[in-house]
Structure 1
C-alpha cells in the first residue's frame, strides 16, 4: 500500500475487510492478520492507524453502529406510509441481515473489546441498543400518528430481541421475510 493514503481510506478498507472476514469466519477467525490479508495490505498498516487490534475492533464496531443512522432515518421517514408491520419487518431484516449479528457475537467473544467499548458506550451491546433506539423512535412517530398503541419503550427491545433470536445462527439460512413479519405482528399485536 502506498504511503500517504488518507486515514479514512485505510480505515474504510480495513473495516470492509473485517466485515467480510467476520461474516465468513466468525469472531474466532477475525484476527489482525486475517483483516490485513483480506484488505490486501501489510499487517503494519493496521497497527500504524490503531494502537492495537482491540482498538481497531472498537472503532470498527462504533463505525458500524454509525452506519445504522441511515437506516434509522429511512425508517422514521416511512412513518405514516405502508403498514407498521411491514416497515418494522423491513428494518429488522436490514439490521440483522447486515454484519450486526456477527458483531454481537464478536463483542460477546472478546472481553477486551467489551472493556474498550464501555469507555464510550456505557450500557448494552452497541449494535443492539442502537437498533432498539431506531425501532423505538419509529414506533413513537407511528404512535403520534395513531397507528401504534402500547408502550413503545417496551415494544422496541422486545422486537429487537425477538429478531436477534431469529437471525442468531449466522451459519444457517436467514429467516424468510414471513417469519420475521409474523414475529413483528405477534409483538405489536396487529
Structure 2
C-alpha cells in the first residue's frame, strides 16, 4: 500500500495479518516483518498503532482471550460431550500458536497478567470457561455435587493442551479428547 494512503481499521488489518501468519507458518514465523508483509503495509504502520511488538502480541492475545471467554458448548447431551466440545473450540491453531508465544516470552506474560496474578494468559481463560461448563453440569446433576470443579478444569485444560501439542500439525482425534474428558470426570 502506498505511503500516505489512509488505511481504514489499521489495527484490525494488522491483527488479522498476525492470525494469517500464525495459521500458515506457525508461531516461529510471527514477527513484525511477517505481519506487515501479510497486511501489505509499511513497518511504520505497525509501530504507529502499537508501542512495540509485545504490545501487538498483547493485542492478539487479548483478542483470543475474548474469543475463548465467549465459548459455550454447542453439544450438551452429556457432561463429557459438552466439555469435549468446549475443549475443541478452545484449542484452535491460533490459540496454540499464541499460547506457545506467551509461554516462551516472560516479558509478554508479565505485561498480560492482571493484578500480578500467577495465571498464564489464555490458559486462565480456558480454565475459567471449562470450570463454568463443569459448574453448570453439576447444577443439572451430570457431575457429582462434591466434585472439585477448579481442579477438574485445570486437569482437563492441561491434558487437552498436551494432547494438542503432541499431535503437532494434525488435530487430535475427537475420540482422544473425549477419552480424556470421560476418564477425568467423576
| 1:146 matched residue in structure 2 | 141
| 1:101 matched residue in structure 2 | 96
| Residue 181 (structure 1) aligned with residue 184 (structure 2) | no
- Range with bigger deviation, 168-177 or 144-153: 168-177
Higher share of residues assigned helix: 1
| Residue 129 (structure 1) aligned with residue 124 (structure 2) | yes
Task: Give the match's secondary structure for 2:117.
Answer: coil
CA distance in 2, matches of 1:107, 1:16: 18
Task: Give the match's secondary structure for 2:70.
Answer: helix
Matches within 5 A, 1:48-59: 48-59=48-59
Task: Give the match's secondary structure for 2:113.
Answer: helix
> 144, 148, 156: which is aligned to 1:159?
156
| Residue 3 (structure 1) aligned with residue 6 (structure 2) | yes
CA RMSD of aligned residues (A): 2.0
Change (3 A) 1:163 1:62: same
Structure 2 residue ranges without an equivalent (≥5): none
Task: Give the match's secondary structure for 1:126.
Answer: coil
- Runs of 4+ in structure 1 displaced over 6 angstroms? none
Q: Which has the higher contact order (CA 8 A, sep 6+)?
A: 1
Q: Is the 8 A contact 1:104 1:127 kept in 2?
A: yes
Change (3 A) 1:142 1:119: closer
Change (3 A) 1:65 1:120: farther
| Residue 39 (structure 1) aligned with residue 39 (structure 2) | yes
TM-superposed CA distance for 1:16, in Å, is 1.6
TM-score using structure 2 length = 0.88
| Residue 16 (structure 1) aligned with residue 16 (structure 2) | yes
TM-superposed CA distance for 1:119, in Å, is 5.7
TM-superposed CA distance for 1:177, in Å, is 0.4
Structure 1 residue ranges without an equivalent (≥5): none
| 1:63 matched residue in structure 2 | 63
TM-superposed CA distance for 1:84, in Å, is 1.1
Q: Is the 8 A contact 2:69 2:126 kept in 1?
A: no
Number of residue-to-residue matches in the alignment? 181
TM-score using structure 1 length = 0.86
